[in-house]
Structures are given as structure tokens and as C-alpha cells.
Amino acid sequence: DSGVTQTPKHLITATGQRVTLRCSPRSGDLSVYWYQQSLDQGLQFLIQYYNGEERAKGNILERFSAQQFPDLHSELNLSSLELGDSALYFCASSVLGVRGTEAFFGQGTRLTVV
Amino acid sequence: GQQVMQIPQYQHVQEGEDFTTYCNSSTTLSNIQWYKQRPGGHPVFLIQLVKSGEVKKQKRLTFQFGEAKKNSSLHITATQTTDVGTYFCAGHNNNDMRFGAGTRLTVKP
């Protein structure tokens, strides 16, 4: 158990719909990252938040948005969903520890758009 | 912004053969991490390299950080079926961490 919680684990929705993915980072971790992983593909960086503020943006579509709340949990909103948005969405939080800056990943949310 | 490229995308080896994946950054990194994602799982931290030219070993795995701190490699000696998965590098700089696309390793028994 990484300590990062993502909900829901699975989500099936229709094209054109909107969904919200939720991430609770490890206690004390200020950074939250969102990644998209399509079938058998690598990790595509979407966006990073640090202590409530957007820190870096990757290949995130305009239909997607995210935010980090004062309690540090984060939500990724995906709207006007398309078939190609079907993927595994990971959230990770990071902290500077004894082994260095280590990212801890949640189990992911598998989104299927039909 | 910071870009991290990783090659190869896929690697198929016979059990017992060696395996290497390479990571290159467009910018100088403060450190680089390596992660392993087993099939159906999530990425798990393996190691972090910080110093220029640093080499670290974990049993059959050897990790190296380039002198310019812009490239890194992971070498596995005598692969085993338990090594299957996708190996990701992650370059870190100024609180910004970017992952490479990963190298998916399959091992034929």
C-alpha cells in the first residue's frame, strides 16, 4: 500500500459525459501529479500541483482540468469524453525522504469510455 | 519545458540475457529516479541518483547517472522472468518531475 488513494478504481461512462477522478495523497505530501497511461503505453504527464497551486502542466487537454484542495486532495475532471480518453489515470504524491524525492503512486483509476 | 526521452520502447529478451534502458533529458537534472511497473500494477520506486557519474547497484540491477546529469541508464544482468514489467525513469528538477515513456521488458523463459 503506497498510501495514495484513488477513487473510483473503475469507471465506465459514455462519450460526451463528464467524470471526476479523486486522489488523496500520502499524509504530509504537498505535491500531487496526474498521469495518463493508455493501453500498453508509457506515463503521460498531465499536471502537477504543489500545496494547492498549479506547478507544471504537461500534455493535458483543454477538456481536462484539475485542482488541489486545501486538505491537499486533488481532483481531475474530464469532460466531453471521447473513446480515446479510455486509459488508466494515475495520481502520485511525492516527498523528499531518506531515499530521495520518491513518488508514490495510487492504484489508478481505469476509465472506459463507450 | 523539461523533456525526458527513454529508449527503447520495448525489449524482448531470452531469460539470462542482459537488458539496458536509456534515459535522456533535455535539461540538466538535479536527480533522476527509476521506477518499475509490473503488469497490472502501478509504478514503484526503485532508486534515486543524485551525483554526476554516480553508479548504484541493486543485486543484478546497475543504475548510472551521466557526467552531465542529463542521461541515465538501467542495466539488468542475466534477466529473470521476475524482471518483466515496464521500467520508467523520472527526471527531477525544481520540484518538477517528468517521467520517460518507459521501456517494456518481456522475458522469454
> What pLDDT sits at residue A91?
96
Verify whether the Cβ–Cβ distance B98 to A94 is below 8 Å: no
Which residues sit opposite A90 in a β-bridge? A35
> What pLDDT sits at residue A79?
97
Distance from CA of residue B1 to its chain's centroid? 21
CA distances (Å), A75 to each of A22, A35, A44, A55, in order? 5, 12, 17, 15
- Residues of chain B with pLDDT below 50 are none
> What pLDDT sits at residue B1?
62
> What pLDDT sits at residue B99?
86
Please enumerate in sequence order all residues whose Cβ is within 8 A of that of A19, keeping only pairs 6 or more positions apart, or say none. Answer: A11, A13, A77, A78, A81, A111
Verify whether the Cβ–Cβ distance B45 to A103 is below 8 Å: yes
Identify the burial level of B32 via C-beta atoms within 10 angstroms of its C-beta, where 0-12 means exposed, 13-18 middle and 19 or more buried: buried
- Residues of chain A with pLDDT below 50 are none
> What pLDDT sits at residue A98?
64
Residues of chain A in contact with residue B90, where contact means CB-CB under 8 angstroms, are 103
**Least CA distance to B101: which residue of chain A?**
A42
How far does the CA of residue A45 sit from the closest CA of chain B (Å)? 7
> What pLDDT sits at residue B76?
98
Mean pLDDT of chain A: 91
Looking from the CA of A67 toward its CB, the CA atoms found within 13 Å total 5
**Least CA distance to A39: which residue of chain B?**
B40
